[in-house]
Amino acid sequence: MAKLAVVICLFLLLPLTSYGIDNPDPAVNQSVRIVMDDKDVIPDSYLDEPIDVTCHAPGDTIGQTTYDWWSNGPAKRLITVPSDGGPCIQVIWDASDEPKPWVMKGTKYNGYHTIMEYWVYWSGMGGGTWVNTKSGAGTIDENSRDRGSISMQTELPTDYVSSVAIDLLPCEGRFIPVHCPTAAPDTFIYPRLAIDGDGVFHVFSRSQMGRHRLEYTSSKSGWVYGSWAELDTLGYGWHNATASKQSPTVAAIYSVAGDSAWQPTDRHNSLVIYESFDSGSTFTKKTILKDLLEPTDTLNCMLWGGNGLYDGRDSIHVVTVATKPADLGEYYPLAACNLWHYTPELGLTVVSSYPWMYDPPAFDGVDGIYGNNQLIHMPSIGYDPETGYFYVLWVEFPWYEEQGGFQCGELFVRRSTDWGQTCSFKMDMTNTHNE
């Protein structure tokens, strides 16, 4: 329990100061006020100001790792914690020891027993076991019995297919892969997995031929999947999925573009939440987050999708970043942007904001830790079912410093104790300027 206790204590140390939204209208909340003991401290100001720091290392992962960020490409990391408070925390990541890691990477897995206090396969990302050795791009979820399942794209001799690997026992790491139906002559890649409260497996993938489309299949057991069904066309960006652990509710979360081009030059992308309340038999509720913004808001391009979850009340929460349509921000962060938190009850509320742009010469010749990023990037959201608290976690690149030709980033977290109405001040988790 020692390691888990450290994490819990860290969150408990977050300041109790909160911020409130000036206007309860979801479309009018770019400005915030900081309150302490019910007194305004900094009225009508943005929460985030750049601070002078010195970067010591370009990013980190969980625990130990032999994965080389600098020369081996970025490792995608995902973690799942049992919704019923079970003892196994499960982690997957993309990894490669090959000379061409972008095309020669696989998915690795490790699990941590919080009661027995040990990693299943050695220590953190310094250990792990291979789920597959090519293609990777995995996501992870678990069923009501804490058995982990991983979606991934698998390379066959003539094609890529979307696959799901199911663990034999909780936290064992002995996976049996199952292939979803082939899409030949098309190829469906980047599968996203979500398991709902009825134990139904939901897989959302992206088609490769022509205009990219969001494709969907499901399985009641995880072992046999039905035919693919097209849900929507995709914009330039990403897609994710989440499911309730209390009901047969599932949601696809993805970027769409308003015109016919898959990669429009102005990139007027929006984020869509497409929900089914009957285990995927029908998708009936579509929420377009861009419609909740002010018509005059220039930070209205939700390029890289969002992450979400369902809370204990079966209400969805989604975090996403909105930037300027013309801001590419592909391999160094230039884009002004807002980090939003969405719930049906509260609409959009701002979590962090950079309403300006840095000068491009500041990052001249500097490579990115992650490709395709903004000043605020890769947000995720966590929920503690015992307390009802929410945690929003994200990466920021707000500084000019670089090391070894790589941009510098910090990992921030905010906690909400009232279902997202207010949040603590953001806490710097990596805190490299104090190292």
pTM above 0.85, yes or no: no
Q: How do residues 243-255 score in pLDDT, each as one tens digit? A: 999 999 999 999 8
Question: Is residue 246 situated within a structural domain?
Answer: no
Q: What is the dihedral of CA 89, 350, 22, 46, to 10 degrees?
A: 110
Cα-to-chain-centroid distance, residue 30: 22
Tell me: do 111 and 194 sit in the same domain.
yes
Three-class DSSP category at 11: helix
Res 1: pLDDT: 33
pLDDT lower than 50: segments of the chain? 1-74, 361, 434-435
Residue 192 lies in a domain: yes
Token output for 321: 């970043």
State how many domains the chain has. 2
Does residue 2 lie in a domain region? no
Is there a single domain that holds both residue 146 and residue 190?
Answer: yes
- What pLDDT is attached to residue 333? 58
If we measure between CA atoms, which residue out of 199, 102, 109, 95 comes closest to residue 150? Answer: 109
The CATH number of residue 125's host domain is 2.120.10.10
Cβ pair 148, 102 in contact under 8 A:
no
Same domain, 402 and 431: yes
For position 403, what pLDDT does the model report? 63
C-alpha dist (Å) from residue 23 to 214, 288, 414: 35, 21, 20
Closest CA to 59 of 75, 42, 83: 75
Residue 108 and residue 40 in one domain: no
For residue 185, cis peptide bond before it (omega within 30 degrees of 0): yes
Residue 24 lies in a domain: yes
Is 290 within a domain? no
Check whether residue 31 and residue 109 sit in a common domain.
Answer: no
What is the Cα–Cα distance from 384 to 428, expressed in whole angstroms?
A: 20
Mark whether 57 and 89 lie in a shared domain.
Answer: no
- What torsion do the CA atoms of 182, 185, 186, 190 make, to the nearest 10 degrees? 40
Q: Specify whether 170 is located in the same domain as 50.
A: no
Residue 10 within a domain: no
Q: What are the Cα distances from residue 88, in Å, to 83, 95, 203, 381, 434?
A: 11, 22, 23, 19, 32
pLDDT at 277 (0 to 100)? 98
For residues 87 and 81, what is the distance between their CA atoms, to the nearest angstrom?
8
The reply to whether 240 falls in a domain is no
Q: Which long-range contacts (CB under 8 A, 24 or more apart) does 253-262 make?
A: 253/305, 253/306, 253/307, 253/308, 253/318, 254/204, 254/214, 254/305, 255/302, 255/303, 255/304, 255/305, 256/232, 256/288, 260/211, 262/211, 262/212, 262/233, 262/234, 262/235, 262/236
> For residue 364, what pLDDT is reported?
57
Question: Rounded to the nearest 5 degrees, what angle is found at the Cα of 20, between the Cα atoms of 19 and 22?
Answer: 135
Structural domain that includes position 358 = 15-62+256-269+297-435
| 356 touches 332 (CB < 8 A) | no
Tell how strand 188-195 and strand 201-207 pair up.
antiparallel
Cβ–Cβ contacts within 10 Å for residue 426, how many?
22
For residues 215 and 88, state if they share a domain.
yes
pLDDT of 289: 94
H/E segment holding residue 378 = strand 376-384
One domain, residues 28 and 102: no
Q: Does residue 414 fall inside a structural domain?
A: yes
Specify the pLDDT at position 68: 33
What integer pLDDT is reported at residue 431 of this predicted model?
64
Do 403 and 260 fall into the same domain? Answer: yes
Same domain, 43 and 110: no
Radius of gyration of the chain (CA): 21
| Residues 341 and 208 occupy one common structural domain | no
- Tell me the per-residue pLDDT of 292-309, one tens digit each, with 9 for 90 and over: 999 888 888 887 778 999
Give the model's pLDDT for residue 296. Answer: 87
